[in-house]
Structure formats: C-alpha cells, structure tokens
Chain A
C-alpha cells in the first residue's frame, strides 16, 4: 500500500470514525486505556454473546493514529469470536513489531505497517487493541463468576 493511500485511509477514519459514540450502553463491557502520555483517552464498549463480539463502539479523545486505529479495529472485530479477535490482535502486534505476519488477515490495519519507523507512535497504534484485550478479559472474569 503506498503512503498516500495509507494516509487517506487514516484521515478518513479520523474524520469519519466508525461506531464513535454509543447511545445504549446496556450489556456492553467497557474498558479505558490511557497510554503513558496520559493524553489519549478512549472508552471502548464491546458486546459479547456466545463467545462472539456482536457489537462494539468507542468514545473519547485521542490522536489521529489512535482514533483511526480504533475505528479500523472496530470494523474488523465485529462478528469475530474472541479467539478470532485475539488471533487478529496477534498478527497486528507482529506487524507493529516488524515480525513476520499475514497481511491478508489485517485488511485496512495494514496502514500501520510502517509505524515502527516512529517508535513513539507504536503505543498510539496498539492502544485500541490493548483496550480490546481488557474487555475480553473482563468478559472472562464475568463468566467465571
């Protein structure tokens, strides 16, 4: 993917984010992750039924990378089982860390394939997935109860 197209996709997701803002929070699991700069502040809402992510939204203020990554992530994870979501997450982290990964699985998330060149932005790009993992963990604790 060339740099212009990557930028276009990121900016589109910043200006028209997918599922930003939630009206009815009932039955959604909420998690928030502040990154170390304590600026990016995203609340993620995930609804899980029968081990599957059936809906997800986000709210909050964050930089262009975090906002777009959250938007793109939400498009990808709705409809996935938790295992599928975690497998996607694994591929994504491998891409971010410049390890071998399956780019076909990542779709639009490939726009962050060069993020390692700006180490300080890696945390912005991984923040949504860290938050997703939090919600998945919460869902498991709730089931155990």
Chain B
C-alpha cells in the first residue's frame, strides 16, 4: 500500500529488511527538508519567532508520541538517539541506582544485543544477577515459564515486545502483572513492535519502553524513551550539559531542569524529532492495525509459497509478526543473501545482533525477511521465483 509515497521504491529494489530499517515516505523527508530550509533554529534557546516555531513543533511531537503509545503525560516522553540509547539510559540512569547486589534481572536468549549487553555490564558493575527465562518449543516466552522463573529476588523483567529474529509477540500485559506482583519492574524493547502493532503502555502497564524512529518510517538517529513519570523523576541523566540545567554557579551550586528536558542534554536531533512526528502521523493515517494485518497477510502468503520449495528450512512458522527466518539447506545464509542481492532483493543474513538465539533455534545464521506496509505479493512472487531456482546459486555468486 501507499507505494507512491516512497521514493526508494523507484530504485528497482525489493526491500525485505524492514526489521533493520525502513524506507521513508515523502511526507517524512519533506518534514526534514522543511526544518533545514524554512525554520532552522535551535529549540528551547531563542525568543525569536523561528526558534519559537521550532519549540512548538519539537514539543508537539512529544504529544504526538504520547498519544501514539497511549502514555498519560508528555513529560514521560524523552527523545533519544534510538532504542539502544534508551535502554542504556534505563539501565545506567535508573537501574544502577534502583537495583542492589543479588537482585535478579530476567531476560531471554532471544533478546537483541541492546537488551543484553547493558545488563551484563551492570551485572559486572554492581553485582546484579542476569537470568534467562526458558523459551518453549516454538522459541516463545510463555506466562508459565515467566512464573517459574520469578524468585523473591527478581526485580526486573526486560523483554522485547516482538523479537527481531523469531518475531514472536510476547504476552507483555500478563508478564507486567506478574513482575509487579513481585514488586519489580518491566522494561520493554519496542524496536520491533511499536512500528507494527498497537502500543498501549497504560493498558499493558509498562514501566519503561524503548523504541527507534528509523524502523517506523522516521529518520535515523531519533528514538524514544518512555517511562512512568515516577521512575523518570528518579532517573539520573547519563549526559550533562546545555539544555538540561537551570543554573550553575562558580561556587558549584547546580540545578537541573524538570522533566523531560533534564534528560535531553545538548542540542537534540531536531530534524529527527520533526521527522518522527511526520512518520507517526503517516502511520496513524493508515492505521497501525491495517499495517499489521497487511504484514500478516504477506507473511502467510510467503509461508505457503516457501513450503512449496523442497530445500528451504523455516525456523519460525509459528510467529505472529511479519518476520520469517529461513535458510536454503546446506547453503550459508550470507551466500543466500548475496544470491538474492543479484536480483535486487534485500534480505538480512547473519545472527541479527541476537547472538544467543543460536542456543535456542540450534542454528547460528539465518536469512531474515521482515515486511512493512509497502511490500507486496508481487514482490514475494519474484522472491519465490528466484529461490526456486536456487540450484544455480554458486553460478550466480561465484
């Protein structure tokens, strides 16, 4: 749908790597161009009209994000550079002070590096214990397994809402309720969910949420940290400098601003923020449920077609998102992606920054197809045609 809005689709590529990043519609590109050509100014700095206009647009994006994820208050929306930075702020700006040695943090082996490495660092730094919730036979998190993993020491559960390899949608509301009953907190990596399924932090009772703009039509370098206000109030900045202080004196008296600016030091990615606003408005105009339905339809169509090819192994048939991971039997994933690249088909090969998932699916490297709103069945037909002809892979790539 809406293919005419995406200039990259004129470039003769079939782009199936939307889990990595998405193409941008004209509306988003224009919003960035407008900032640089019609009202360039810094935000929260000047009294002149230009700066006021930028302030207004910048702050109105906070409201747009707040409404999009159903937060209670715009102060709960902090702009960051992306999911990775948001998760690092949660771990090193909040959890470092909230958690005590021996406190347990539950993650899974299917998490992205950005939801693993900060925790492992904090484990080394302050002696928390990182544990893995076992996954079921379909590599999913079940409420039962979460229940069995929680001990009296479990203080945090940190999970992707949708995982970036297996593509399963986790029962976050139920998990949040379990950890809250244990006086703990839930952190959600929304990088692969916010662009594709409806997000409601209030309904799910999510304490912390991280997501990126560039995986949902916005520019790169802009992301969001959401947290309940009471936790954000306690969060320490991990960056200090301009824009976040209200005064500092030569006698070293320092006072910082209130939320949300206290957590946004330095000149922000203003063009990115405005692009994010345009992206969210674009998604809302279509309707996120419609986008999700479209992806599921494509996924089911692809699954049926892939099964018709003898030597294709699919690893996540049961997933409920627009992600499929597969290999051609006895062919290394990178060779498959090079083969597809020859026909201008872009898929991701490798471990997808999820290096522990090999322990779960028993395979280190896979090809991943991840859909978005502009993908079509015709593109899938082309992919299938090329994959059916995979006997000539070495002829093509060598």
Show the binding face of A for B, using Cβ within 8 Å: 6-7, 10-11, 14, 37-41, 61-65, 67
The answer to whether B351 touches A64, judged by C-beta atoms less than 8 angstroms apart, is no
From 353 to 381 in chain B, residues with beta carbon under 8 angstroms from any chain A beta carbon are 364-365
- 19 A-B pairs in the complex with CB atoms less than 8 angstroms apart: A7-B394, A7-B395, A10-B394, A10-B398, A37-B334, A37-B350, A38-B350, A38-B351, A39-B333, A39-B350, A39-B351, A39-B365, A40-B334, A61-B332, A61-B365, A62-B332, A63-B338, A64-B335, A64-B394
User: B260 CB to closest chain A CB, in angstroms?
Assistant: 35
For A63, list chain B residues within 8 Å (CB). 332, 334-335, 338
A11 touching B332 in the complex, CB below 8 Å, given contacts A38-B350, A39-B349, A41-B364? no
Chain B: CB-nearest residue to A3 = B398
User: B330 CB to closest chain A CB, in angstroms?
Assistant: 8
Interface-centre pick from B333, B334, B349, B365 (highest chain A CB count, 10 A): B334
- How many B residues are at the interface, by size bracket? 10 to 19
The answer to whether A64 touches B332, judged by C-beta atoms less than 8 angstroms apart, is yes
Is B120 in the interface zone, CB < 8 Å from A?
no
For A14, list chain B residues within 8 Å (CB). 394
The answer to whether A67 touches B334, judged by C-beta atoms less than 8 angstroms apart, is no
| Contact among A7, A11, A61 with B364 in the assembled complex (CB-CB below 8 Å) | A61
| Contact among A37, A39, A61, A64 with B398 in the assembled complex (CB-CB below 8 Å) | A64
Query: Cα distance A11–B394 when bound, in Å?
Result: 7
| Contact among B332, B338, B397 with A67 in the assembled complex (CB-CB below 8 Å) | B332
User: A27 CB to closest chain B CB, in angstroms?
Assistant: 28
Query: Cα distance A6–B365 when bound, in Å?
Result: 26
For B398, list chain A residues within 8 Å (CB). 6-7, 10-11, 64-65
For A6, list chain B residues within 8 Å (CB). 398
Chain A: CB-nearest residue to B330 = A15
Other A-B contacts than A7-B395, A63-B334, A63-B338, 11 sampled, CB-CB below 8 A, are A10-B398, A14-B394, A37-B334, A37-B350, A39-B333, A40-B334, A62-B332, A63-B332, A63-B335, A64-B398, A65-B398
For B338, list chain A residues within 8 Å (CB). 63
Query: Cα distance A7–B334 when bound, in Å?
Result: 17
Query: Cα distance A14–B331 when bound, in Å?
Result: 10
Query: Cα distance A136–B145 when bound, in Å?
Result: 48
Query: Cα distance A67–B85 when bound, in Å?
Result: 37
For A38, list chain B residues within 8 Å (CB). 350-351
For A7, list chain B residues within 8 Å (CB). 394-395, 398
Chain B: CB-nearest residue to A11 = B394
Query: Cα distance A10–B332 when bound, in Å?
Result: 14
From 333 to 354 in chain B, residues with beta carbon under 8 angstroms from any chain A beta carbon are 333-335, 338, 349-351
Query: Cα distance A39–B335 when bound, in Å?
Result: 11
The answer to whether B334 touches A39, judged by C-beta atoms less than 8 angstroms apart, is yes
User: A130 CB to closest chain B CB, in angstroms?
Assistant: 17
| Contact among B350, B364, B365, B397 with A64 in the assembled complex (CB-CB below 8 Å) | B397
User: B375 CB to closest chain A CB, in angstroms?
Assistant: 24
User: B139 CB to closest chain A CB, in angstroms?
Assistant: 20
For A39, list chain B residues within 8 Å (CB). 333-334, 349-351, 365
For A41, list chain B residues within 8 Å (CB). 364
Question: What are the nearest 7 A-B pairs in CB distance?
Answer: A63-B334, A39-B350, A7-B398, A63-B332, A11-B394, A64-B335, A39-B334
User: A111 CB to closest chain B CB, in angstroms?
Assistant: 9
Query: Cα distance A65–B334 when bound, in Å?
Result: 10
Query: Cα distance A6–B394 when bound, in Å?
Result: 11
Query: Cα distance A1–B394 when bound, in Å?
Result: 17
For A61, list chain B residues within 8 Å (CB). 332, 364-365
For B397, list chain A residues within 8 Å (CB). 64
Chain A: CB-nearest residue to B353 = A38
Query: Cα distance A7–B393 when bound, in Å?
Result: 11
For B350, list chain A residues within 8 Å (CB). 37-39
Chain A: CB-nearest residue to B336 = A63
Query: Cα distance A101–B282 when bound, in Å?
Result: 58
For A67, list chain B residues within 8 Å (CB). 332
User: A94 CB to closest chain B CB, in angstroms?
Assistant: 22
